[in-house]
Amino acid sequence: MTAKRILLGMTGGVAAYKGAELTRLFTGEGADVQVVMTQAACAFITPVTMQALSGKPVHTDLWDARIHNNMAHIELSRDRDAILVAPASADFLAKLAHGLADDLLSTLCLARECPLLVAPAMNRQMWESPATQRNVAQLRADGIIVLGPASGDQACGEVGMGRMLEPADLCEDVLVRLHQPKVLAGRRVLLTAGPTFEALDAVRGVTNRSSGKMGFAVARAALEAGAEVTVVHGPTTAAAPRGARLVAVESAREMFEAVQANVAPCDLFIAVAAVADYRPAQSHEHKLKRSDRAMTIELTPNPDILGHVAALKNGPFCVGFAAESRDLDGYAQAKRARKGIPLLAANLVQGTIGSDENELVLFDDAGRHALPRASKLEQARLLVAHIARLLPDRARSGTRPRRRR
Ligand code: C5P
């Protein structure tokens, strides 16, 4: 995955302070950020701050002699994968809509070859005004991607539409659009994620330490690759991927029902959830009371969701996960054969459950493929690339991918 090169354009608005956090998030994701600010943006946050966070001199001037051919308006965007203008003021949107080019940033936008994304930020009446709405419609028609705005409290004290999207959301939206290639374009993907919770009584239950982070990372990687994604997830506090359809469930049986209800149109099923293998045979409506006697809880097996989907006639291409505490290869190979699935991603639980990193080993017909230890998102991207190579080509088969027998 090559580092993404982003030109962050900032215009005048109170939300300019969020540009600092946005730059930090982009660089944290391995992106290279070149900041260009308008004069008005410099009234809200200084180029010094933005230079420190991006690690590059900030450009503000159309006539900047530091650029060797003195053509900053052309040169600065040539090596960029995208321009993001955040915040984008009402005035700047108007300039873009009309092709005005009277400062460095507007000139760069007009002379660009790369995609342009804008994150509007303004007072709600400025946003709702017919002129701004006309301009935004024109920008969309011109192929410019408009991210947000959101609704909420505004710096002016009013409440409404016009808040810039939060930096974390903007960072995710931009990177999702930039990650290439779109190896799952047109594919529908169903995922399970997180733990399940099997109620014993009104307050207690059987669960496990799955955080849901890996499942959500795979969902995000599938979205980046152009797929339409539905995630059926158990109880989790992990940040859900933007753009996925989410179905929240609690128990394994609810997860099973939700998977059955959503699997039909899917090309690909990725079972990342740590589904509880057993549930209490009896679930009590009211809280069980303490006593001095020993208590025995009978457990009964839960349905095997992946096993069921893998056995469907004309079902989707199935990918399983296995978390093991020892003999990774032995257990993983046996599990792949038992479930009858083409691909299984396995990891040792030590140091990975709840962590932001993982170290997956993929098992398929061709053998064993160890992925380098990396963030769960990086691992998910590598997994998605691997899956895409195994997925049968629908154009040639004329039907959905067939599962391995
Ligand atoms: O069956 P086992 O837990 O050994 O295999 C793990 C894989 O099966 C994971 O992909 C998990 O999401 C899936 N699974 C499931 N339903 C279960 C148990 C596991 O879908 N009841």
pLDDT attached to residue 349: 86
Same domain, 161 and 206: no
The pLDDT tens digits of the residues spanning 184-237 come to 999 999 999 999 999 999 999 999 999 999 999 999 999 989 999 999 999 999
Q: Which of 112, 145, 178 is the last residue of a domain?
A: 178
> Which candidate in 42, 109, 156, 171 is catalytic?
156
pTM score: 0.77
The boundaries of the domain holding residue 117 are 5-178
Ligand 1 site residues (CB inside 6 A) read: 192, 252, 271-273, 275, 277, 302-306, 320-322, 335
Best residue among 269, 304, 324, 333 to mutate for probing ligand 1, ranked by most atoms within 8 Å of CB: 304
Nearest atom in ligand 1 to the alpha carbon of residue 319 is 10
Q: What is the mean pLDDT of residues 19-38?
A: 96
Residue 156 annotated among the catalytic residues of the structure? yes
pLDDT band at 405 (very low <50, low <70, confident <90, very high): very low
259 Cα nearest atom in ligand 1: 20
Establish if 313 belongs to a structural domain: yes
Whether 167 and 204 share a structural domain = no
Distance 1 CA to ligand 1 centre (A): 30
Residue 344 belongs to a domain? yes
Q: What is the pLDDT of residues 365-384, one digit of tens each?
A: 999 999 878 888 889 988 99
Instruction: Say how many Å lie between the CA of residue 17 and the centre of ligand 1.
Output: 45
What are the tens digits of pLDDT across the range 42-54?
999 999 999 999 9
Asked if 274 and 322 sit in the same domain, the reply is yes
- The CA 276 to ligand 1 mean position distance, Å, reads 8
Same domain, 39 and 130: yes
Same domain, 357 and 269: yes
Tell me, yes or no, whether 65 lies in a domain. yes
227 and 315 share a domain?
Answer: yes
> Ligand 1, atom 1: nearest CA belongs to which residue?
304
- Domain co-membership, 313 together with 266: yes
Asked if residue 140 and residue 273 are part of one domain, the reply reads no
Q: Do 162 and 301 fall into the same domain?
A: no
* Best residue for ligand 1 mutational test, from 249, 272, 275, 343 (most atoms within 8 Å of Cβ): 275
Query: Which ligand 1 atom minimizes the distance to the CA of 252?
Result: 21
Ligand 1 centre distance from Cα of residue 302 (Å): 10
**Residues 161, 287 within the same domain:** no
User: Does 395 score more than 50 pLDDT?
Assistant: no
- Phi/psi at 359 (5° precision): -145, 85
Condensed to tens digits (0 to 9), the pLDDT of residues 324-368 reads: 999 999 999 999 999 999 999 999 988 777 778 889 999 999 999
Task: Please indicate, yes or no, if residue 273 is contained in any of the structural domains.
Answer: yes
Q: What mean pLDDT value characterizes the chain? A: 91
Mean pLDDT (whole number) for 50-72 = 85
212: left (phi over 0), alpha (psi -120 to 50) or beta: left
List CB contacts of 26: < 8 A, sequence separation 6 or more.
Answer: 4, 6, 8, 33, 171, 174, 175
Look up the CATH number of the domain holding residue 71. Answer: 3.40.50.1950
Indicate if the alpha-carbon torsion angle 329, 331, 334, 339 is positive or negative: negative
The residue among 178, 197, 218 that closes a domain is 178
DSSP run (H or E) holding 171 = helix 167-178
Asked whether residue 19 falls in the same domain as residue 77, the answer is yes
**Ligand 1 atom showing the smallest separation from residue 272 Cα:** 12
Structure confidence by residue, pLDDT tens digits, 158-193 = 888 899 999 998 998 898 888 767 899 999 999 999
Q: Which of 306, 308, 363 to mutate to test the pocket of ligand 1 (most atoms within 8 A of CB)?
A: 306
* Closest C-alpha to ligand 1, atom 6: 322
CA distances from 299 to 206, 211, 281, 283, 354 (A): 10, 23, 5, 10, 26
Q: How far apart are CA 191 and CA 273, in angstroms?
A: 8
Task: With respect to residue 306, please indicate whether it lies within any of the assigned structural domains.
Answer: yes
In terms of domains, do 192 and 154 share one?
no
- Residues 285-323 pLDDT 10s: 999 999 999 999 999 999 999 999 999 999 999 999 999
Q: Is the pLDDT of residue 400 over 70?
A: no
Kindly state whether residue 404 falls inside one of the protein's structural domains: no
- pLDDT of 224-270, one tens digit each? 899 999 999 999 999 999 889 999 999 999 999 999 999 999 999 99
The CA 146 to ligand 1 mean position distance, Å, reads 40
Where is the domain boundary, 141, 160, 178?
Answer: 178
| 206: in domain | yes
Sorting pLDDT into bands at 50, 70 and 90, what band is 1? very low
- Specify the CATH number for the domain of residue 285: 3.40.50.10300
The DSSP string of 229-281 is EEEEE-S--SPPPTTSEEEE--SHHHHHHHHHHH-TT-SEEEE--B--SEEES
Q: How many domains does the chain have?
A: 2
Report if residue 405 sits inside a domain: no
Kindly report the protein residue whose alpha carbon is nearest to atom 2 of ligand 1.
322
Q: Determine the atom of ligand 1 nearest the C-alpha atom of 335.
A: 4
